[in-house]
Structure 1
């Protein structure tokens, strides 16, 4: 059984520096990997024609065609809303996991694998409040370039899409719940991911060399490695949930009647492999995203800003 053991549990948990660390980590991480996330979305959401024709044949082909039709900055379509909302999203996710680990650990600092998974799952549950509207807007902004390219090729009018315009439309047509389209699929994906990711990351991180400052934290490059390996593993395993979530949230034409209809039609159209569409790209996005995020999270920017002494977390 994997467990994190400390001689003595810290007496208190400072949430504010954790929130600052999570926000900084999220902004830096998502800025680095956003173009790959754009490609992942478009690969997952493209449909297959009657003769097997596809708009994009590979990751490289999607990069090439997107840059050719939309320019380099087209790779950052929808990034503003993502970067704006990634601050509270990552702050909630990373800080909540640390908080629940602290609360669930024994007085001796022992946290069994089952409780570590529970802490991660609770963090994933809390984050979907921000994640769902963030990803809905991001995905529709990312996919709007693909739709525009298809309309342009067919000689149809190309409509300009903005995050503000999408938000207004969703609020006008469906109210506040319009921003939570796909919340069920998002919750399943994020809770499952967090249940796997955080215990694995903590275990790997605990095995590496420590800093010489007495904080008990791993050296920065080992936190990067722990985030990379854990993100890679967890991202691949939950790819089917991500495919369904992406297709539901990008479904502006209302082709799907719900989660199960989306699952059935995805399987009918592409078989089992359809549930892993964009899986490699997803791994390429989330492995470095969480590696970079964990590295900056553990650097302790928040503690330095607030003048708080860093102590090893449970």
Structure 2
């Protein structure tokens, strides 16, 4: 099995773990991001309303799309990341840098590798998250879509293939910015432990992978949350005939949200995200590292 296939397979394992752990928190985040000001008094109010009105299974509404799509997304992330890391490792070896094997990459190299991973991931994550958000925010009593494939069919029939990629520019900005920081934080923590203890990567305690993944997740969301909020608004805008289209562009969305709802709107739903982040991102890196050890052993 080639290194690329191993990396993609390990990334898929990480992506599945991420979705199963993080989906209930994500639906609360999306509902709070896309609701009108004052709809929910807080995270518990939102979660309680979902549980009372829609039942416990509603927390996994739209899960099929991310389970398939996010598995692919995370697979692409790690596949591109590891490929870029191998390129930089070869460059380091040629220059006599990065330790004996050239694998101790510099901060700039890790940021570039993370940005590349994010952009590649964004091609898939844009439409996947668009469909997921539509399923998460639709009415439970009178749903517009019967499921992810029905949602795709309706959107394409009404708006063409381009409709699936609504908010794509904001998605690329979020992915490039976020994953540059995300993988930099994680890899630097891994490097630190390897250097301090004089051990190989596969000798790191799995629970430390969870801890480092949780830390990287917080770094990610600290940078991208306002961008993510705009992406969610853009992807739910203009598809309901009764409300019409509110925003002409991402810039127009930022301006109108700031003017009508204030700066607080850009962090609405941050609570469930911060609670979800350590579990989802810890599970992602644990799944990837354990699968990598198995595949490369």
TM-score normalized by the length of structure 1? 0.83
Cα pair distance change 1:303/1:15, threshold 3 Å: farther
* 1:39 aligned onto 2:28: yes
Is the 1:240–1:276 Cα contact (8 Å) retained in structure 2? yes
SS at match of 1:254: coil
| Equivalent residue runs for 1:154-169 within 5 Å | 158-161=142-145, 162-169=147-154
Is the 2:25–2:276 Cα contact (8 Å) retained in structure 1? yes
Q: How many angstroms apart in 1 are the aligned matches of 2:182 and 2:274?
A: 13
Residue equivalent to 1:275 = 266
Report the Cα offset of residue 284 of structure 1: 2.2
Residue equivalent to 2:99 = none
List, as ranges, runs of 4+ consecutive aligned residues in structure 1 with deviation greater than 4 Å.
209-217
Deviations 1:29-83 (A, max 9, x none): 21111010000000011112xxxxx221111111110011110001111111111
Residue equivalent to 1:255 = 246
Which range moves more in the overlay, 203-212 or 132-141? 203-212
Q: How many angstroms apart in 2 are the aligned matches of 1:96 and 1:32?
A: 24
Residue equivalent to 1:68 = 52
| Equivalent residue runs for 1:23-34 within 5 Å | 23-34=12-23
* 1:142 aligned onto 2:136: yes
Q: How many angstroms apart in 2 are the aligned matches of 1:201 and 1:94?
A: 13
Give unmatched runs, 5+ long, in structure 1.
1-12, 49-53, 153-157, 310-314
Is the 1:217–1:298 Cα contact (8 Å) retained in structure 2? no
Q: How many angstroms apart in 2 are the aligned matches of 1:34 and 1:189?
A: 19
* 1:93 aligned onto 2:77: yes
Residue equivalent to 1:84 = 68
Report the Cα offset of residue 213 of structure 1: 9.2
Q: How many angstroms apart in 1 are the aligned matches of 2:154 and 2:106?
A: 46
| Equivalent residue runs for 1:205-224 within 5 Å | 205-208=190-193, 216-224=202-210
Residue equivalent to 1:20 = 9
Q: How many angstroms apart in 2 are the aligned matches of 1:109 and 1:302?
A: 16
Residue equivalent to 1:240 = 226
Count of paired positions = 279
Q: Find the partner of 2:168 among 156, 169, 183.
A: 183
Report the Cα offset of residue 237 of structure 1: 2.0
Residue equivalent to 2:255 = 264
Q: Find the partner of 2:123 among 123, 129, 137.
A: 129
Cα pair distance change 1:122/1:214, threshold 3 Å: closer
Q: How many angstroms apart in 1 are the aligned matches of 2:260 and 2:28?
A: 21
Give unmatched runs, 5+ long, in structure 2.
94-101
Q: How many angstroms apart in 1 are the aligned matches of 2:199 and 2:218?
A: 30
What is the aligned-residue RMSD (CA, Å)? 2.1
Report the Cα offset of residue 122 of structure 1: 0.4
Is the 1:236–1:283 Cα contact (8 Å) retained in structure 2? no
| Equivalent residue runs for 1:108-127 within 5 Å | 108-127=102-121
